[in-house]
Amino acid sequence: MSKSQPQPNPGRGPEPEPEPEPGRGPDPKPGPEPEPNPEPGPKSSPGPEKKYRYVTAFQRRLNAVVRRLPGQTLLETTGRVSGLPRRTPVGGRRVGDSFWLVSEFGERSQYVRNIRADPRVRVRIRGRWHPGTAHLVPDDDPRARLRRLPRFNSTAVRVMGVGAQLLTVRVELDG
């Protein structure tokens, strides 16, 4: 066999591609021309998916601290996979025997997914735990609901939420 033909490589798989000559790269592959970059303009806000990732990463760190504060309102759900209690700081308002809140990521919120799997929850309001049953209320207007909830939390939900995904949650408190 001559040197220009590849030598057989029994039992070792296919031969690797030969190295290109020094100073020469592989020939460019034919194909369509790349699209030109769009016109530079004012910085726009990140897309909904990127915003969701940023906000949830931020919340994960913040919530680890906030849930330890004695006056913070917490929603405790049961993890749909683990079965363990999951506590999430929330803002909302008690109205009679109901507690109302708005989820900024709607169906994507982990606590909403947990409620779908098991609606029995507990809510800590002013340091006392109240058992109840959570109901997702997709027909409620979450923006109008936010106007009736505590201002600080409502502002945070509007800023951090991803527009159309807002979802109202009502917890019917036991006794």
Q: Is 137 inside a domain boundary?
A: yes
Which tokens is 132 given? 């109840």
Q: For the chain, what is the domain count?
A: 1
Q: Could you tell me the strand order of the sheet in which 167-173 lies? A: 85-89, 74-78, 120-125, 128-137, 167-173, 98-103, 92-95
In a domain, 29, yes or no: no
Report the CATH number at residue 167. 2.30.110.10
Q: Does 20 map to a domain?
A: no
Residue 17 domain-assigned (yes or no): no
Tokens matching residue 86: 């999951």
Please state whether the predicted TM-score (pTM) of the whole model is above 0.85: no
Query: Which residue range forms the structural domain that includes residue 90?
Result: 48-173
- 97 lies in some domain: yes
Instruction: Classify residue 111 by its DSSP letter.
Output: H
Beta-bridge partner residues of 76: 87, 122
Written as tens digits, the pLDDT of the chain (175 aa) is: 555 555 555 555 555 555 555 555 555 555 555 555 444 444 555 566 676 666 666 556 655 555 555 668 899 999 999 999 999 988 899 999 999 999 988 898 899 999 999 999 999 999 999 999 999 999 999 889 888 877 656 555 655 555 568 899 999 999 6
